[in-house]
Amino acid sequence: MSAAYHILLDIFPLLWSGLITGCLYALGALGLVMIFKSSRVVNFSHGNVAGLAAFLIYGFSSGTLLTLSWSAAVLMAVVAVIAIAFLSYAIVAPIMAKSDLTATIATLSLGLIAQGVTLLVFGADIVPLDLPLPRFSASLLGLRITGYDLTVLAVAVATIVGLFLVIDYTKLGVAFRAISANPIAAEICGLNLRSVHLFAWTVSAVLGVIGALLIVPTTFLSVTTVATFMLQAFAAAVLGGFSSLPGALVGGIAIGILMNLFTFYVSPEFTNTFLLVVILVALNVFPNGIFASTGGTRV
């Protein structure tokens, strides 16, 4: 009786904090899926660019580069990241038309450059990056709910609901769905492929910044933290099937909870190995994602 009670006492906080970090993985995964759905490219520079953005916010607000207020720093970093997204798309788009594989390799090289620039400007040291969060903490059913948790939940829900509303109801969103379903037919119908691609790349970059900003308070900010955070996002996207937005959302939360349970009950040292196993198992059990519709292929 008391053993079961203790397990329950352990498991609720684990599920709760898993849900919180899972929302952040979902934000990262949504960005990857947006780009993959519309342009058939896996953007391997996603994590590195988001990491660069987090460092830019640190640099703009701490006085390393500039001394701005926090919101101005965030705004400038978002502008910088959108500029990077446009530039990346301008470089990758012509290659994309010819070979998805080469375009994917090109995003890797962009990621290398982003990583190198971060190292050059900010060095390899760990820096603290604080968020102006409401100081708040409450206890509910044995859970400790902090201001950070609620902020993350609120921002993630607002962003994701907003994104889904845009995709479901606006013209741009309809064009996005049309292009991801059948790019050739969509172009024949007069849709502008380029503007929809740019929409996807921009939204993805902004989602990456939001995810990076919110994940940083749980760890420190170093050159590698955000890039490793993105492995979880990749795992979430694979779990969701890589071309389904709801799949990415559910995958992200599932990964967050699974990771938490694994680090608590098994081992905190093998997190990447665990993710590898999750990815491999997911590929075997749900090869097309959790929400896969079954269908045949035509030869």
Give the binding site for other proteins (CB under 8 A).
36, 42, 44, 91, 94-95, 98, 100-102, 104-106, 108-117, 119-120, 123-124, 228, 231, 234-235, 237-238, 242, 269-273, 275-276, 279-281, 283-284, 287, 299
Residue 49 and residue 69: Cα distance in Å, rounded? 22
User: Which candidate, 202, 45, 50, places its Cα nearest to that of 110?
Assistant: 45
If the CB atoms of residues 148 and 197 are measured against other proteins, the closer one turns out to be 197
If the CB atoms of residues 104 and 222 are measured against other proteins, the closer one turns out to be 104
If the CB atoms of residues 10 and 100 are measured against other proteins, the closer one turns out to be 100
**What is the smallest separation between the CB atom of 34 and other proteins, expressed in angstroms?**
15
Residue 153 and residue 164: Cα distance in Å, rounded? 16
Residue 216 and residue 136: Cα distance in Å, rounded? 18
**What is the smallest separation between the CB atom of 33 and other proteins, expressed in angstroms?**
11
Longest CA pairwise span in the chain (Å):
66
User: Which candidate, 51, 33, 100, 17, places its Cα nearest to that of 236?
Assistant: 33
**What is the smallest separation between the CB atom of 102 and other proteins, expressed in angstroms?**
6
**What is the smallest separation between the CB atom of 36 and other proteins, expressed in angstroms?**
7
Question: CB–CB of 206/50 below 8 Å?
Answer: no
**What is the smallest separation between the CB atom of 133 and other proteins, expressed in angstroms?**
30
Q: What are φ and ψ of residue 137, in 5° steps? A: -160, 130
If the CB atoms of residues 51 and 73 are measured against other proteins, the closer one turns out to be 51
Cα 211 from chain centre:
6
If the CB atoms of residues 73 and 238 are measured against other proteins, the closer one turns out to be 238
